Amino acid sequence: MGVSRSANKRIVVSLPVTLLQEVDGVVKREKKSRSELFRQAMKLYLREQKKRQIRESLERGYQEMASINLCLAKEAIYAEEEAEHAVDRMVSGG
């Protein structure tokens, strides 16, 4: 699945020789161009960055909600204890 040439922008990227050798090994093994490999790598990197940002945002939200959730849990425990006492009073006739 190629991208039309008019939609592409040529860039120059500097890589350490050892990394370029690894890239060329993958290119040869997978029978694709360096450009295609770098496009795929950049898409994957950007997707992973978005996932990381979402996870961090969720984590912050959970941390912000922690005190609210603790208060709600304490209220629920108190309500359950009150209900239990009410049932005990009804059962004992008092």
Going from N- to C-terminal start, the domains of the chain cover 15-92
Question: Tokens 């997707």 map to which residue?
Answer: 47
pLDDT of amino acid 44 = 98
pLDDT of amino acid 2 = 60
- The residue ranking higher by pLDDT, 7 or 31, is 31
For 7, half-sphere exposure in the C-beta direction (CA atoms, 13 angstrom radius) is 4
Tell me what the mean pLDDT of segment 74-82 comes to.
86
3-state SS assignment for residue 16: coil
Type of residue found at 45: Y
Helices 17-30 + 34-92 axis angle, to 10: 90
For 42-59, the pLDDT digits (tens) are: 999 999 999 999 999 999
